[in-house]
Structure 1
Amino acid sequence: MTRYAEWCAQVEPPVPKHKLKVLKADPTKHAAAIAAVAAAVPDHYVAPARLAGLLTRLGRSAVAEFVAQKLPTATSIQSGDLGEILCTTYVHEATPFKLGIKRLRWKDHRNMAMRGDDVLAFELGQGGAGLAVLKAESKSRAKMPASVVKDARKALSEFGELPSPHALSFVADRLSEAGDKPLKDALDDAQLKTGLKLSQVTHMLFSFSGNDATAILSKNLGEYTGPVAQHYVGLHVEGQKAFIDAVFAAVKT
């Protein structure tokens, strides 16, 4: 996990009906932040069991090389991937949506962006009852413009504000392979039997930027008139590009 509370100041500007959280990275704690984020990155690209098997058979240097081959080298892909990783870890650390997959493990190529919903996470009641779904869009920019936030808002509202059927099927297939029957069955039922209701869905728009995007996020959130619960998050890291470069460099060491 990335332990945001240890290197970010957090505030919640008042927004009618919905939730906006702003995280401001403390510049004096950048070294600790880079170390925490870098430690979380490999798990998003490679399953721990795979790394453990490589470590046992081939040793630590082989593990390091294998992870390095998974990491993107294109600047724009590094930015997008890290935004998705930071969004995923925030969801797991700060919301009830603890279940799901780390979808970057299934990238076609390390320098290609994945299509579909950026992050899907789930909450499941005891015995498989009470499925709740978080549909998240992550955007990463050195300077976040209103147009990019608008694009993310549009993506959240696609498919009638629900997760895309393909994205849900993709998650269910991966859960089936992993043997996670309760969540897999709940997703299958939602798609093929009962349907997924808007009341079961929450949207998250996660902004990772070098500028303070609070005003942009607040305005966009205030313009939303749909029925789905909204949770916007703005992570502000000064020198965002240098931060990204340092994180990926740390992962390789």
Structure 2
Amino acid sequence: MNSKKKLTEQSKLIGEHPKSGLFFDWFKCEDTPITANKKHRKLTNKGINSDTLVEHLSKWIIKHHATKARMIRLERKKKILDKHGFSQYIEGKVPFPIKSEKTQKGNLGEIILAEYLTETSGLEMLVYKLRYNPNVEQSMKGDDLLLFEKQNIQNRVIMGEAKFRATKSKKALDDIVESLSNKNLPISLTFVSDRLEEMGDENLADEIDDLITNLHAQKTPITYVGFYHSEASAYKTIEKNLNSNNKNLVIVSYGEDNPSQLIKNSFNEALKMVME
């Protein structure tokens, strides 16, 4: 008798929900029944300690917005300057949004989705795009998220889009579905290739250049993942309104009470970690 659990269609595309670690502690996961036009993974808060969650998210905010070398430089400056002097020095140099709540909300969604899919799928971010934002107070253009199988770049790509709404809306869902139509190919691959070349990884940059050709020739499959972060009942909007003919699309929803506060607290803690 085969007792092996049958994978859901969602798990076939993005991997199973973690069985341990932060995402296991944070999220209750339900892969809802699929239809011809709906694949939805519903995440809800299990009741994780808010301070623990904010601590993790603040570290991810720093990780995605700044290289280790940049953080080391800031730490060195902090030791040289007194607190007041460092505060003056850091003005305009914090590598993540400190004023724009809109950008904070968008960026944190991208970060949560990236970390979640990295764990569930085993694919990797080759370039942390938020580190290259010329204006941290504004959202970057291009794909929200691209993940690759580093050992075999041509094998598979995950393309992600994140949306935050304090109050759930069908339009936000429709915008995700439109962005992740199977007619749409990643538009940031040249950006990824250029950054890899700058980092000295010319072989990987060449692989990304070859991937561009393979995607246009439909030789490499793309998994499309939308992340919808909103109020606790957000999943109802997905269940009622998700309608996509893209068979490789999964919408991951995460609903919670007062989601805006989590974002504000996480960015405030990230700033505190840089300043203190």
Question: If the TM-score is normalised by the length of the shorter chain, which range does it land in?
Answer: 0.7 to 0.9
Q: Secondary structure at the match of 2:105?
A: helix
Q: Does 1:162 align with 2:185?
A: yes
Other-structure match for 1:43: 63
Question: Is the 2:155–2:220 contact (alpha carbons within 8 Å) kept by the matching residues of 1?
Answer: no
**Could you tell me how far apart the structure 2 residues matched to 1:237 and 1:146 are?**
17
Q: Secondary structure at the match of 2:257?
A: coil
> For the pair shown, which has the larger CA radius of gyration, 1 or 2?
2
Question: Is the 2:104–2:263 contact (alpha carbons within 8 Å) kept by the matching residues of 1?
Answer: yes
1:12-49 superposed Cα distances (whole Å, 9 cap, x missing partner) = 11214674222212345222111111121101111112
Which segment is superposed worse, 56-65 or 205-214?
56-65
Which segment is superposed worse, 90-99 or 114-123?
90-99
Q: Secondary structure at the match of 1:204?
A: strand
**Could you tell me how far apart the structure 1 residues matched to 2:32 and 2:221 are?**
25
TM-score with structure 2 setting the length = 0.78
Q: CA, structure 1 residues 246+229, in 2 after alignment: closer, same or farther (shift >3 Å)?
A: same
Q: Which consecutive residues of structure 2, in runs of 5 or more, have no partner in the other structure?
A: 1-20
Other-structure match for 2:3: none
Which segment is superposed worse, 184-193 or 232-241?
184-193
1:58-93 superposed Cα distances (whole Å, 9 cap, x missing partner) = 539659948972221111111111111111111212
Other-structure match for 2:51: 31
Other-structure match for 2:11: none
Other-structure match for 2:144: 118
1:124-165 superposed Cα distances (whole Å, 9 cap, x missing partner) = 44xx4643111111001111211111011111127x23212x
| TM-align CA RMSD | 2.8
The AA in structure 2 aligned to 1:120 is L
Report how far residue 3 of structure 1 moved: 2.3
1:177-215 superposed Cα distances (whole Å, 9 cap, x missing partner) = 123344322210122578452751010000111232223
**Could you tell me how far apart the structure 2 residues matched to 1:156 and 1:236 are?**
21
1:191-230 mapped onto 2 (5 Å cutoff): 191-192=212-213, 195-197=216-218, 200-221=221-242, 223-226=243-246, 228-230=247-249
Other-structure match for 1:180: 201
**Could you tell me how far apart the structure 2 residues matched to 1:231 and 1:152 are?**
11
Q: Secondary structure at the match of 1:218?
A: helix
Other-structure match for 1:69: 94
Q: Which of 33, 36, 45 matches 1:14?
A: 33
> Which of the pair is proportionally richer in helix?
1
Q: Secondary structure at the match of 1:202?
A: strand
**Could you tell me how far apart the structure 2 residues matched to 1:138 and 1:7 are?**
19
The AA in structure 2 aligned to 1:184 is A
TM-score with structure 1 setting the length = 0.85
Other-structure match for 1:52: 72
Report how far residue 57 of structure 1 moved: 5.9
Q: CA, structure 1 residues 175+145, in 2 after alignment: closer, same or farther (shift >3 Å)?
A: same
The number of residues matched between the two structures is: 245
1:74-93 mapped onto 2 (5 Å cutoff): 74-93=100-119
Q: Does 1:96 align with 2:118?
A: no
Q: Does 1:134 align with 2:153?
A: no
Q: Secondary structure at the match of 2:146?
A: strand
Question: Is the 1:162–1:198 contact (alpha carbons within 8 Å) kept by the matching residues of 2?
Answer: no
Other-structure match for 1:246: 265
1:81-126 superposed Cα distances (whole Å, 9 cap, x missing partner) = 111111111121222322322111111212111112111111144x
Question: Is the 2:25–2:48 contact (alpha carbons within 8 Å) kept by the matching residues of 1?
Answer: no
**Could you tell me how far apart the structure 2 residues matched to 1:207 and 1:248 are?**
19
